Amino acid sequence: MFEELFNFIEGPARWLFTTIALVALIFLSARRKTSRSKLFELTTKTSNIIIDWEKKPGGQIPVELWMKSPEVKAVLAAITINGKEARFIGGCVRDAILKRPVNDIDIATQETPDKVIALLDGAGIKAIPIGIEHGTVMAVVNHQSFEITTLRKDVKTDGRHAVVKFTENWKQDASRRDFTFNTLSATPDGMVFDYFNGIQDLSNRVIRFVGHAPERIEEDYLRILRYFRFIATIGMRVESKTEFQACIDQAYKLKQLSGERIRAELFKILNSDMPLDILALMYEQGVLQIIVPHVIAPEKLRQLNWLETSAMKFESISRDPLRRLAALVQTDKTGVTDITDALRLSKIEQKRLSKMLVPSFGVKWDMNENELHAILYVEGAEAVIDLVLLKWADMLVSSPTGLTKEKNGWLHIIRMAIRQQGNKAIFPLKGQDVLFLDVAPGPEVSRLLERVKFWWLEGGCKADRGACLKKLKSFQEI
């Protein structure tokens, strides 16, 4: 058909028709090429698209009880009285979206810190300037505390501290946060503002830095540990190998942080539902060795986790971060001091950790009743349970299936220890009992009392007051 039409057209008309046809062909070809190019560009850059909600909310959460409690309403009423906006921020919004329990309620405001304090005082609410240089004030109402932070932007950072400037721009404040799901803010009526696609990342369980990962880490090295912590605590997964590698490459800078900050993040990981895979990963990549002296591979911790969460059903035994730390290290008394210094443990924590790592007593699955009663009296139920679980976990490393008699022996000790917690044996005698036998005050009183106590312990703490008095008299006569 086209050939017949072409033959029909002669002279200048044929030339004109040919020209028009060529132009049309070139136009259609270019348009098709452009369309394919745009399609390819879109499909290859989808992962980098950031939804910019600007001033519009990007989602909504139901108004939960914690959002409308009298205490929360009192704080919000006080700091918004001048018309400045306040929103829930960070973790509480994230957890509400994930339908997890909300424990800490943080609030962001456009008011400056000094104004926040004045407004709270004016409403009769106690205000504590816990981080005034960074814009944070704690409000206390009916024994409940709320952190209120002024919107801010970073002026200067050095990996440990930041110099900030206050702002009224919500997106600017969100842009300085670590991960996309921590940038979320919500109004008191549940409207969620999502400036960096945090809702989608939460839905996909993807952990993603806001902006360029190496730069965000350089601002605050603790973000490396927070990266691993959120993987462990809320089940996020790594999608960007580049971001993961940035955390590994800069992990050596964690040594510049305070022990308190490291301890807080590490204990949250240890206390999580699934610390094992992430701690194994941190160990394999050398991150764990940077923050914890004398650390070992987490095989023993794996078995301890199984004992704490699956193998036994005792209400008084659950996940314990300090016990889990003990399963993650191997050392002597000097090493306990190293760990204490590195993580800034309290004296009570140091003492308990030392009992677990360098015990002054031993436990065996087949120990007799008298030995067990004596150890429980001297060392206490907590120390015995700690050591039993660690010894049992150690045994399971070499024999994962375990043996029935050993299992029953360990369980018997734990049951005895739990019973002892509510009914601890009391040595029936006091120093006055020795003095009643006309023993002169002095070292002899303590010596006789200790001899009777040793005899009482050997008998499993079972002898009553009458039997102990009789034994005391016999020792006096010797």
Residues 203-212 have a mean pLDDT of 93
DSSP codes of every residue in 50-74 = ----TTS--EE----GGGG-HHHHH
Same domain? For 403 and 263 the reply is: no
pLDDT range class, residue 32, cuts 50, 70, 90: very low
Same domain? For 183 and 86 the reply is: yes
pLDDT range class, residue 58, cuts 50, 70, 90: low
Percent of the chain residues past pLDDT 70, beyond the cut: 86
Same domain? For 286 and 299 the reply is: no
Domain that holds residue 240: 212-291
If you average pLDDT over every residue of the chain, what do you get? 85
CA separation for the pair 67, 92 (Å, rounded): 10
Structure tokens at 39: 């399609």
CATH number at residue 63: 3.30.460.10
Structure tokens at 176: 């300085």
Write the Ramachandran bin of 135: left for phi over 0, alpha for psi from -120 to 50, otherwise beta: left
Same domain? For 373 and 446 the reply is: no
Is position 34 within any domain? no
Is position 32 within any domain? no
Structure tokens at 236: 């996020």
Same domain? For 394 and 441 the reply is: no
Is position 296 within any domain? yes
Is position 24 within any domain? no
184 close to 198: Cβ distance less than 8 angstroms: yes
Same domain? For 178 and 107 the reply is: yes
The yes-or-no verdict on residue 153 having pLDDT over 90 is no
Compute φ and ψ for 282, nearest 5 degrees: -65, -35
Cα–Cα distances in angstroms (integers) from residue 12 to residues 1, 25, 57, in the given order: 20, 20, 64
How far apart are the two ends of the chain, measured CA to CA in Å?
Answer: 134
Same domain? For 169 and 219 the reply is: no
Each residue of 106-152: pLDDT tens digit? 999 999 999 999 999 999 999 999 877 888 999 999 999 999 999 99
Same domain? For 65 and 194 the reply is: yes
Is position 348 within any domain? yes
Note the pLDDT of residue 56: 53
Percent of the chain residues past pLDDT 90, beyond the cut: 60
CA separation for the pair 111, 168 (Å, rounded): 8
Residues 304-312 have a mean pLDDT of 89
Is position 33 within any domain? no
pLDDT range class, residue 6, cuts 50, 70, 90: very low
Farthest CA pair distance, the chain: 145
Give strand pairing partners of 126: 140
Total domains, the chain: 4
